[in-house]
Homo-oligomer: A and B are copies of this chain.
């Protein structure tokens, strides 16, 4: 049959999984593979400034490309280790990222000479040992014979687990020729069937519980509904059952926030009192795709005992105290929908609070956190991709109702600052591909400084996102945690509006604004040209160092109690 290089085999598989842009940085152990990339008509090489940002970009790409993967290429040692924090983030947050590392040739891997990028002590497996901590599976390609099978194995793992995987590609193996036959069979992208008997018993027990409480149910949706691609099944479930539904911060946009049965965001004891009462007052909670991290739960202040909770996950279920390993929600949910639809008329009557967030009128002209977030809420449009960096932004966005088919990207669990600059690039590339709306980032000044160079790659990749930089003179979120007036929470004052034109020679490709007052921001957000987003646009918002969104102040009050020093 048709022969193909191992490198091209890998590229074909990636293309099948929706990779149109490949992120990464060249290095002498991957240059041969990059020739194949550059010559591949289906895949575009993004050319990142550094590997951490490339990993973040692959993560952002994967999040927008629903049921696809993101991918990056780095070089042995120096490149792959630079990316590892981004890979760990994808692991933590369930994002399918393929990390391809160009490594020395197979002879060198055996003889282990003191090559550059080695530790100098002959340990050639140290990087793999590190990677194993943060990836679901690894393919250490050492010969052409099993390369196709190995590649297929880890890519399948990547899609099904929603976690990153690691592939090492020796310079010579990348160029070996193998049969292309396997490529004709697409990789399995569907989770395994649930065991029918167990599944039936789960459905039956849930049915009984719902019946016992006479349909007095609250559904709580969270991150994994988005990451494991059950938004459609979820919508069907809610439409048919009419159960009231609330989202954890990481579950925002799993259901359109204008859905009539959507009541807003539940974050334990820091939730809005109306929401808290509704969620904790329901007789039964059906929790779908939860990820119960500190920042996602108001510092573990859920008051929902297990004795009234059904939990549905990608790979297991739990009905009150009983665990059902292997019963995943993708297959279960449609059947559950059918079974519970009969409660529709009762549950329809349970009222849900309307999820609104009016712009307050304030007596001064400063851009306050309290004013900013509801105001930008009005600026969003359906299908926009909205990204909020860890800091005041990730907390500010929680209370903003997002438009229909909006995508929200935050890193509430991993919380690595700087993530969103890379993720913005990846998300914008994927959004262009999927014909989504504008890509819009909110980022603090401190976070921007971590990964700022990747703004330049937006320009070279011809994507045109909008970047709001919250210039509040430093690490405000940290100030609220500790050290309100400490110098370690200050940062260098940059000329943020000069950044874009420093990172390009094309003066028409970008435009930057400094905005100091509510009136100025209003005007900009209402401006047609600005809204059309035809260039990279950066808006510096001048804000106060000691101002935080309400959700953040409440969270840090709770967190402060558990994280005492002396």
Q: Give residues in A with beta carbon < 8 Å to B.
A: 5, 25-29, 31-32, 34-35, 37-38, 45, 47, 49-50, 52, 77-78, 81-82, 84-85, 88-89, 91-94, 104-105, 108, 113-120, 123, 126-127, 129-130, 133-134, 171-172, 174-177, 291-295, 300, 412-418, 449-453, 456-457, 459-460, 475, 478, 481-483, 486-495, 498-499, 501-505, 559, 562-566
Contacts and interface: CB of A to CB of B under 8 A. Distances in A.
A459 B495 CA distance: 14
A37 B49 CA distance: 33
12 contacts: A5-B566, A50-B449, A50-B451, A115-B293, A115-B294, A116-B415, A117-B414, A120-B291, A171-B563, A175-B565, A449-B453, A495-B503
Contact of A134 (B50, B119, B415, B457): B119
Contacts of A25: 450
A560 to B, nearest CB: 10
Contact of A85 (B78, B92, B453): B78
A119 B92 contact: yes
A50 B450 contact: yes
B478 A492 contact: no
Contact of A449 (B32, B49, B176, B300): B49
Contacts of A563: 28-29, 104-105, 171
A135 B455 CA distance: 33
Contacts of A129: 129-130, 133
A548 to B, nearest CB: 14
A14 B126 CA distance: 28
Contacts of A5: 566
Contacts of A504: 492-495
Given A85-B78, A488-B37, A501 B498 contact: yes
A467 to B, nearest CB: 15
Nearest to A292: B114
Given A116-B414, A450-B50, A450-B453, A31 B566 contact: no
B105 A482 contact: no
Contacts of A34: 483, 486, 488
Nearest to A452: B453
Given A49-B450, A172-B565, 11 more contacts: A28-B478, A28-B482, A34-B488, A50-B449, A105-B562, A117-B414, A126-B134, A176-B566, A449-B456, A460-B492, A498-B498
A488 B36 CA distance: 11
Given A493-B505, A502-B498, A119 B565 contact: no
A495 B502 contact: yes
Contacts of A450: 25, 49-50, 453
A52 B82 contact: yes
Contacts of A451: 50
Nearest to A560: B28
The 10 nearest A-B residue pairs measured at CB: A175-B566, A32-B565, A81-B85, A78-B416, A31-B482, A126-B133, A498-B502, A130-B130, A114-B293, A50-B450
A475 B488 CA distance: 36
A34 B494 CA distance: 24
Contacts of A417: 78
A538 to B, nearest CB: 12
Contacts of A81: 84-85, 88
Nearest to A6: B566
B88 A77 contact: yes
A478 B502 CA distance: 25
Nearest to A84: B81
B294 A113 contact: yes
Nearest to A31: B482
A4 to B, nearest CB: 12
A24 to B, nearest CB: 9
A116 B171 CA distance: 38
A556 to B, nearest CB: 9
Contacts of A50: 418, 449-451
Given A5-B566, A452-B453, A502-B499, A82 B416 contact: yes
A412 B130 contact: no
A398 to B, nearest CB: 14
A457 B491 CA distance: 9
Nearest to A556: B28
A460 B494 CA distance: 11
A116 B52 contact: no
The CB with the most chain B CB atoms within 10 A, among A172, A293, A502, is that of: A502
A542 to B, nearest CB: 13
A120 B293 contact: yes
Given A415-B78, A486-B34, A118 B134 contact: no
A553 to B, nearest CB: 15
Nearest to A85: B81
A563 B93 CA distance: 37
